[in-house]
Structure 1
Amino acid sequence: MSSISSSINPRPYESTPARKVAFLGLGVMGYPMAGHLAKAGHQVSVFNRTAAKAQAWTAEFGGSFGATPNEAVKDADIVFCCVGNDDDLRSVVLGADGAFAGMKNGAIFADHTTASAQVARELHALAAKQGLAFIDAPVSGGQAGAQNGMLTVMCGGDQAAFDAVTPIAMAFSRAFTRIGESGAGQLAKMVNQICIAGLVQGLSEAIAFGQQAELDMNTVLDVISKGAAQSWQMENRGKTMVAGKFDFGFAVDWMRKDLGLVLDEAKRNGARVPVTALVDQFYGDVQQAGGSRFDTSSLITRLRKPGK
């Protein structure tokens, strides 16, 4: 892989010239991400499968919306996208109403969906044949990161396309880094999700153990978060786990989708991920118990005795 290129937290980015951009997918991530682009002064056209969401976005931020991805991307220099999975991505990119059919020659498609490395490479190759550029650019930081414009973005694709997108994407990013060639961004996001899965399971076991031992776990977390056990998950989810609050954050359903991508890729490349496979099964238990929309920290619910 080529050398890493990165931009980190350069805001304010007032020196970036205004560009015409499009944003496809206005979910909990895409809506605020597109909003940051508008606030940075870019001319933004949006598309969302539910048209009412696109209308609400334009009422709040201005700009325009298209009835199809094809319409939304007309004349855009850069098209950003954040949808659910591989199939959703193909549905907004391909076909007569898709983005590729409407993009001008030389335009860049930056995909922030957490998808497979395979679909990233497929669309990168197709884009090149049509005189377009494609970078896979999945994000980490969750809904709060999107709302605060502080996402960490891992990119795969051509250096020139990455360089062109970077100053625009910093409107919603704290770090925007090229990991390597097409697909490398998605693979890096898989690494990210493997780390999170293991950390949350470990934190769940630690808190459940401490509660069973009748420790004041809020105090324990305050102490150990100042040492080698410290992590983002402990700092941001530890006390809500102690309190049994899970009605926020990154949903279990989404995590299982992401871990499914990891397990599929591991089968292809021969990587051994036994802990990840086990935690994926544990998340399946949470789903079966009615926690599909709970935050990923709800892993701890499997470990608690009834009534605790």
Structure 2
Amino acid sequence: MNETRKPSPLDKLKSLSMNNLDQHMSSDPIFSLTSSEGQSQPVAMELIDHNPWQPRRDFDPAKIEQLAESIDAHGLIEPIVVRKHESRFQIIAGERRWRAHQLLKKSHINAIVKCADDMQMRLIAVAENLDREGLSDYEVALAIQGVEENFGSRSELARYLKKTRSELYRYLAFIELPAWLREILDSKPFLLNRTAAEELKRLFGREPGENLKYREATLRAIELLEAGALTQIRVASEIGKMAILESSEKNSKTSALNQSNFEPKLFLDPKGKAVGKLKNNGKNITLTLSCAALGNEREKALHEFVSELLKPSNTQKTD
């Protein structure tokens, strides 16, 4: 016996939005002439465009092909939903079914024509895709960002989406991640979940330049994540640790370099005996040599060499 699935918040959102569309359509004589409520009609495939607010960035070709095989064998069980847009149609719900029809080279597809404004198109696209096949948290965040401006506050948006404020803020944490990380997510939307995004946002801080010190550590963490050597829950803490270690190593190298610059450099005679040293204290350079080792002629040659060394080069300009 099949268990009855309890409607999710997104099921309720989709139902609410569709009911709003039905009410809008029934009160608009133009659209009531286009399609009767709940009835589908064949629409030419060449007249249909995808939803411009489609949150899904990638459609798995294998799954589209699998869906096409099912439609070819059993027919289209559920019509797609479209809206009239100028002289064409735009998909409200059912882009995967439409793409499957394209694969089958169908000339028409059964569609229900609804009246929908842009905001409803965006909201239904999110609900439809989450219901049909899981979107990444990043794609959901981009879709939510697209409708945010239509609400007076994020609290109002959260209520409409049937989400808690904390859950909504986790999604929107993606939007506040640095541009270089979002570029990676654009091509790998499933890389991070919303909890990891929220922790990274907190780690990186709000200052534009502050996140740069975490970039190299983040790139290394992504490699570990993709290799399965790091879990989502540990991403932010691991990046923080690696950034601290990297900073510590850089400071140690800088300190060692500075120290080596100030250490005296010895001069040895052919027998390996120290006969002088060159010392740099950061302000002055001091050269000390044994008179016995140098001799008068070499002292004169050294003086001429240093004098020549201090002359302006051809590329230098004098005042």
Query: 1 or 2 for the larger relative contact order (CA 8 Å, sep ≥6)?
Result: 1
Task: Tell which structure's C-alpha radius of gyration is larger.
Answer: 2
Superposition TM-score tier, normalisation by shorter sequence? under 0.3
TM-score (norm 1): 0.26
